[in-house]
Amino acid sequence: MTRRVTVSLDEDSTTALETLSGETGEGQSEVIRRALAFYAANFEAASGQPSDNLEQYYRMLSSGEHVLLDIDFLHAFLAHVSDGNDPDPSFVEAADRVSDYHAREYAERFDEVGDVLEWLSFCGFLAVRHEDSGVYHVVFPSEPIRWFMSRFIERSTADLPVDVEIEPGVSKAIITERPATD
């Protein structure tokens, strides 16, 4: 069913409609239908109230400190540095330096390993389910990523006010957080 709607456009909207019609080769009605569908699908971001995830992604990417990485690239990198054997020691050393840097950052930012796991889940490295007090079931995309991220979690949480125990599976791990025993 098609419904006719009459709208009033200001000068900027008129210019935008004409420009989009010219660039797409579509009629004004089709451009407005597409614009309305896009607006509906992206209402939170378009209304100035982006979701927490969208805002976090924006901050991460705009700072230049993080990049989007296709999961296949990550698998390729990890396969390349291990080549079916133990990971290349120079890669492990470099990854440990990154982990140690994050340990200092996380000590100021997080109080619990659950907060770190939630952050890493947001970044796409893992999926996490909080079981009960301090027990987390973590699923990784693959065994190499489980190895890589478990090592990162262990090292990057070293300065938190808790102790972390990681019980690895094939592509899962149970991570337990306990009060620090310093």
Mean pLDDT of 146-175: 94
Question: Tens of pLDDT along 87-121?
Answer: 889 999 999 999 999 999 999 999 899 999 988 88
Give the list of residues 6+ apart from residue 78 with CB closer than 8 angstroms, or none: 87, 144, 145, 148
* Cα separation, 19 vs 17, whole angstroms: 5
Instruction: Indicate whether 59 pLDDT > 80.
Output: no
Q: Is 61-179 assigned to CATH 1.20.58?
A: no
Question: What is the percent of the chain where pLDDT is above 70?
Answer: 91
H helix intervals, the chain? 11-24, 28-41, 43-46, 52-62, 71-82, 89-109, 113-122, 143-156
Instruction: Name the percent of the chain lying above pLDDT 90.
Output: 41
Radius of gyration of the chain (CA): 23
CA angle 116, 122, 133 (to 5 degrees): 40
- Is the pLDDT score of 48 beyond 70? no
Per-residue confidence (pLDDT) for residue 154, from 0 to 100: 96
Give the pLDDT score at 172. 94
3-state secondary structure of 139: strand
Reading the block at residue 159, the tokens are: 């300065």
- pLDDT at residue number 107: 93
Say whether pLDDT at 52 is over 80.
no
